[in-house]
Amino acid sequence: MIWRTPTTMASRGQLLVLPLLLSLLASHSSLIQLSWAKTVSVSDTEQLMPEPRAYSPDAQHLDFVYHDHEELTRFLRATSARYPNLTALYSIGKSIQGRDLWVMVVSSSPYEHLVGKPDVKYVGNIHGNEPVGREMLLHLIQYFVTSYNTDQYVKWLLDNTRIHILPTMNPDGYAVSKEGTCDGGQGRYNARGFDLNRNFPDYFKQNNKRGQPETDAVKDWISKIQFVLSGSLHGGALVASYPYDNTPNSRICRSSALCAMFQTYSAGPSLTPDDDVFKHLSLVYARNHAKMSRGVACKSATPAFENGITNGAAWYPLTGGMQDYNYVWYGCMEITLEISCCKFPPAYELKKYWEDNQLSLIKFLAEAHRGVQGFVFDPAGMPIERASIKIKGRDVGFQTTKYGEFWRILLPGYYKVEVFAEGYAPREVEFVIVEQHPTLLNVTLQPSKYLLPASSASSSSPVVSQQQQQQRQVNGKLQFPPTD
């Protein structure tokens, strides 16, 4: 006999309500302890096949197998119920076939944005037949919640960062893809046949492809949350790829077959003004990975990547990619992480993939705390929302949050920030970045009707007072992560 699990009893919705979860947890605790399982009979033929594993919604026992959408949903709901102080679950929308696009927040402040704490994200399974990242993100969630009280680094990361994890952006494509299929396109696209990683607005060329529910949901999501750092998990290669993915004069890769053909040709890089930062972020992932930094080609016919990183357009150009959209439209530093040579490897290899990627997944997120962070205020000390900010010499800008916050990942050096806001005189402020901790920089703008002498930085505000800032430094919350 085999174990089957009935459909989940929890309702679907947006943000899960904590009191309701606790009530459900209390009233059905005996069912949860029994894994909601029942037995059914099978035929003699089925008995000859390998026995399916027993799936348990217990967040303590996530096994190394591929989880369908119902199992994924049950795991996320059970984890949110078990760890209400570290997690929050919400849906950013639905796929074509009505599957929720679940996002799990993992943080010591999961239900609210704390002023000064950056938001970061991971997105998996944008191509449905590349599900290794989908499973890695589930295991990352489990590792975070189970290690918070025992791992100093994890505790620091969750205390100082809000981590949003979208395990699957393309659940419909995953539903029709096949385990063990290393190449090909079955399941790559959404239910309407669109490649979701060619479906975003493009910086270099007009993208005429009709917007899809999955990409529309992601665009709406990142327009509402000021993400500082992001990683998109893919399969089919072993490399960290960084923007730009497109270039003004490129031949465009429109299909998997064409992409494979383009890999045999040399292409020129298309570099962003933040190329040094993107290379650094890519190297952080590659060097903490068990194999990626070796730059070994997956197959003889595919390229090898020096140090395990590449510029996207230098590999092959594409229009409508998600990482370029994140960067150009919202100033979010996103890279594409290709983490498996085989797109859909057999499940027994998943444990090894987790061992290879675990450290990289964690260390990469900590890079959100590198560079400069601070606030933009008016003369009364009130935050200025949507102030436009650029690092001089780096033309891609970003904006402040409704609390006047900003973050920018930068490497050590001397910089000048340019700050603009409607109704205020623009400001330029010089600052220095050092290696070990972020630079704190608060900028005060004067109304444009009259200009008053002002210092380049302001150290207090009603949002975060000087005393609060000092206390945060004492608590280690603004320091770079512990080294051990």
Q: At what angle do helices 152-160 and 132-147 cross, to 10 degrees?
A: 100
What angle (nearest 5°) sits at the alpha carbon of residue 201, between those of residues 197 and 204?
100
Q: Give how far Cα 275 sits from Cα of 269, 305, 312, 330, 412, Å.
A: 11, 17, 12, 17, 14
Look at residue 213 and give its three-state secondary structure: helix
Return d(Cα 419, Cα 431) in angstroms, integer: 13
Please say whether the dihedral angle defined by the alpha carbons of residues 45, 48, 49 and 54, taken in this order, is positive or negative. positive
Catalytic residue of the set 130, 338, 367, 405: 338
Looking at 299-384, which runs of residues are DSSP E strands? 309-311, 333-340, 372-377
Contact 121, 163 (CB under 8 A): yes
Per DSSP, the three-state class of 223 is: helix
Tokens of 139: 């295991």
Q: Do 354 and 136 contact (CB within 8 A), yes or no? A: yes
Query: From CA 197, how far away is CA 128, in angstroms rounded?
Result: 11
Q: Provide the phi-psi class of 82: left if phi over 0, else alpha when psi is between -120 and 50, else beta.
A: alpha
> What is the residue type of 33?
Q
For residue 413, give the 3-state DSSP assignment. Answer: strand
Quick one: CA dihedral 167, 363, 286, 263, positive or negative?
positive
Residue 444 and residue 458: Cα distance in Å, rounded? 6
Q: In which residue are the tokens 């679907």 written?
A: 12
| Residue 329, phi then psi, degrees to nearest 5 | -80, -35
The reply to whether 338 belongs to the active site is yes
End-to-end C-alpha distance for the chain, whole angstroms: 47
Nearest-angstrom CA–CA distance, 269 and 259: 16
Alpha helices in 148-225 (DSSP H): 152-160, 171-176, 213-224
Residue positions annotated with a catalytic role: 338
